[in-house]
Amino acid sequence: MAESVDGFTSLPIELLLTILSQLPFKEVVRNCVLSKKWSKICKSTTNMEFNELFFVKLDESDETKEAQRRAFLEFINIWIGNHQGSVVDKFSLRLSMPENVGDIIDRCVSFATLRGVKELALDFADADRSEDMVYFDDYEAQLMLPAQVYEHSSLESLKLYSCGFVVAQMVNFHLLKQVSLGWMKVSLAVIKALLSNCEMLESLSFNKCWNSENFDLGDEPNNTLRKLDIDKCRYDYGVFRINAPNLKIFKYCGLMHAFNVEIHCLELEEAHLDFSPEYGFEGYGHPLCNLVEALYTARLLTVCSFVLQVIPSGPEQIRDMHVRHLIMKAALHQNEFMGITFFLNCCPMLEHLTIEISSLNDLFDYEAPFDFNLMRFWIDHVGVYKCLRSSLKVVEINGFTGTMNQHHVLRYLIFSGVVLKKISINMLKDGSGNVESHCRKSAEILLTVPRVQLRNENLVEARIAGTVNISSFIILKDVLYAPMFSFNLVSISKLVSSLCCSLHFSSEICIIEDQRTKMIGSAKLMRGSYYLNSLKNEFNKEQVSFTVNNNVYGSMTVPESSLWHFKLGHASNSQLEKLCKQLSYVHINKNGVCDIYYFAKQRKTPFPLSSSKTLHAFELLDMDIWGPFPISSVHGYIKYFLTIVDDFSRFTWVVMLKGKYEAHFQIQKFVLLVENKYNVAVKKIRNDNGPEFIIDSFYATKGVFHQTSCVETPRQNGKAERKHQHVLNILNDKSSFELLHGRLPDLGVFGCLCFVSTQCSCRTKFDPRTRKRAFLVFKADVKGYVTCDLHTQEILVSRNVIFHDLMFPFKYAYTGIELIEFHDSEYHYLSGQL
């Protein structure tokens, strides 16, 4: 680092002086020792700071302190006397008990003013004052500002601690930009006069000032004020009013009290709120929200533990803040969690979040908005807020100690921060290695937290592209392998376009169906994402077939007894037996099992007529889904129907479905309906292997035995399948007539002609008394017949119907009515005893 640079010595002295003047005064004094030339340069520094505390150590005895103070005063005298330069830019004097040393102060001030000082700081407050004190005495100014300062018009910055002044005389400060007042009584009238006298005033700070007035700067806008800093001042904040349209920085530290806040500052960039001296909770929620809302334009916001605890007790939501950088001085105690989520929610543009671990502001009357399980809070009660999705890039935590709560918060931020780029964890330096190793461990665990990277705006490098077979139905093409990703993600849009499939999402499951609406896969909802189920059966099948193939190519010896079986091309035993009768040298090995025979020649076993029959109704229900019908229903979206056949009575119910996904619900509904209506429990349900029938949990609660047919064997589900055919035939309306006519006189035939009385209320004397209609269906929930008007195709339910079963008005003139069903009506039966 300390490479020798001979160049700098050759710099002109003025330049060296400029550089030196940038250093703190203490270092300038130290640098006098460099060389004689440098001692001269140092002695003309333009930046001087005389601080009593450089000399006086407060923990010494009074006598020593007195001696140290004398040395300090002497040093001031010598330095001022030896000063070589003609210019002083900054002059700062901190001296307690100024009454006895008025001459030195006068000398200092005239020294500084004569050399055109720009920044003057005079601090006469007690040396042993405590900065952190909440309740302080009523400080009085120790000394008045020396008169020559009022004449010094080139002053740009003035700091007066415990140093009184006459505001009426401050009329020459045309360049004054910064004023800092502290440790004395400052009335509002003085502040107002100051603001009006010094027209360039940009920055105003108050430190431990007090008065018993409201902090009300009035309605008149002050256009020059850029910065306002109120640090532990004691005013009555019943009304807090500032109208400074150009205010950029607002800083407040102190008690909350009940603010009636009116801050007009549209240009605000930074706001720092620190209520750490506060101890109460009750009733501050709404005023605090008002205050935070008034600061909504701030890009940098600092909040403290008090704010985080109290703000959730106010209104649930406030307007969106413009905050880009949020600093939370928090203990990450559970009381603060609600506040943290509150700010994450209302800062949608947040880019940088800093958490400074500090002590909890223990409020004696704290009340949680609601009870929550600490361990589950960051899982159950928080969403993924907008800032986490789109803007939050940097999270910084200072003073990390690895507690459980810190861990949970960081875990949440890492997991949900979609665009998060950087997390910096600065551990608390504690000296004892124990804490550090604990922190380290905790931080290392955080490194392994999985991340949601749904739409990462950084390009992630993909190493390999290829095809992945998830199952024989789902084959993903152009799969990119990105080692950075901790999740395997499937793009829905690509999946849909490449497989021509459709996806149905429900609250628990997502079903993937192919073009023919056959289910080819499913995904389960877990923690906000759908996880594709691995289709284990599918894999097993493949593995099995593979092993069999291996055997075929293995070595094999042919037993002599089976020779003829092989010679005749794996002839069957029955064929060989015929041969055997005629040719004595043909042998049959009845015990041998020939793989190839079965592989090549096995047939399906025949289906004999089933004679087993149930003895009671609802002992066995056969079910099947039919569809999709290529033409939608009148209502536009019904394409499936579920057929339920009772094995005992062969009574049939047909339920219309919008999609296969409805089957779950309808089956459950049906089982419950049977229980209620017939007072019988369903014992067994039989259907094909459709996944829509798998509702194991429901079957278990009802004690229903669920039986499925074998794969590709619809014959085992024969009753339901046969019923389908029947139902479709009825809809074809030709065979239905043949099937039904005459036998059930009460029933109309679908589509037959009927005359229906018109409603009296809409009829005049000369209107026809009936209208020509076609019979459609009986409705289970209304006592009447559903008919369709031949001309208007209006549908009506009425009991005044005369049927003409042999006439079919729609038989040749197909008018566009296709299939009609009724929603929400019960299972309407088409025929009673089919």
Partner 1 sequence: MAEETESTKTEPLKTAEEEFKKLEITEEEESELKLETSDHVTFMVEASIAMKFGAVQQYLEVSPAASASATAIPLHNVASRELILILEYYRMHDWVDAGERDLKEFDERFLKDLNYEELKELLLAANYLNVEKLFNFLTKSIANIIRNKDVEFVRTFFGIDNDYTPEEEAAYREENAWAGVKFV
Point out which residues bind partner 1 (CB under 8 A). 1-9, 11-12, 15-16, 18-20, 22-24, 26-27, 29-38, 54-55
Residue 114: its H or E element = helix 102-114
Closest contact distance (angstroms) between CB of 9 and partner 1 is 5
Q: What SS3 state is found at 737?
A: helix
> Which lies closer to partner 1 via its Cβ, residue 39 or residue 405?
39
Instruction: Report whether 689 contacts 708 (CB < 8 A).
Output: yes
Q: Which residues pair with 526 in a beta bridge?
A: 529
The rounded distance, in Å, linking the Cα atoms of 504 and 514 is: 11
Closest contact distance (angstroms) between CB of 10 and partner 1 is 8
Closest contact distance (angstroms) between CB of 51 and partner 1 is 10
Closest contact distance (angstroms) between CB of 417 and partner 1 is 20
| Three-state SS letters, 553-565 | CCCCCCCHHHHHH
CA distances from 258 to 216, 288, 390, 579 (A): 14, 8, 36, 111
> Which lies closer to partner 1 via its Cβ, residue 23 or residue 379?
23
> Which lies closer to partner 1 via its Cβ, residue 61 or residue 448?
61
The rounded distance, in Å, linking the Cα atoms of 131 and 320 is: 35
Closest contact distance (angstroms) between CB of 83 and partner 1 is 16
The rounded distance, in Å, linking the Cα atoms of 79 and 549 is: 102
Closest contact distance (angstroms) between CB of 424 and partner 1 is 16
**Of the candidates 398, 209, 331, 228, the residue with the CA atom closest to the CA atom of residue 307:** 331
> Which lies closer to partner 1 via its Cβ, residue 272 or residue 773?
272
> Which lies closer to partner 1 via its Cβ, residue 16 or residue 782?
16
> Which lies closer to partner 1 via its Cβ, residue 2 or residue 631?
2
The rounded distance, in Å, linking the Cα atoms of 549 and 553 is: 7
What does residue 344 show for φ and ψ, rounded to 5 degrees? -60, -35
Closest contact distance (angstroms) between CB of 421 and partner 1 is 15
Instruction: Report whether 761 contacts 776 (CB < 8 A).
Output: no
Closest contact distance (angstroms) between CB of 75 and partner 1 is 8
> Which lies closer to partner 1 via its Cβ, residue 89 or residue 274?
89
> Which lies closer to partner 1 via its Cβ, residue 38 or residue 150?
38
CA distances from 191 to 137, 166, 523 (A): 21, 11, 68
The rounded distance, in Å, linking the Cα atoms of 418 and 414 is: 8
Closest contact distance (angstroms) between CB of 14 and partner 1 is 8
First-to-last C-alpha distance (Å) of the chain: 101
> Which lies closer to partner 1 via its Cβ, residue 36 or residue 791?
36
Closest contact distance (angstroms) between CB of 145 and partner 1 is 28
Structure tokens at 818: 């296709």
E strand spans, 202-324: 203-207, 210-216, 227-231, 234-243, 249-253, 261-264, 270-274, 300-304
**Of the candidates 353, 277, 347, 350, the residue with the CA atom closest to the CA atom of residue 317:** 347
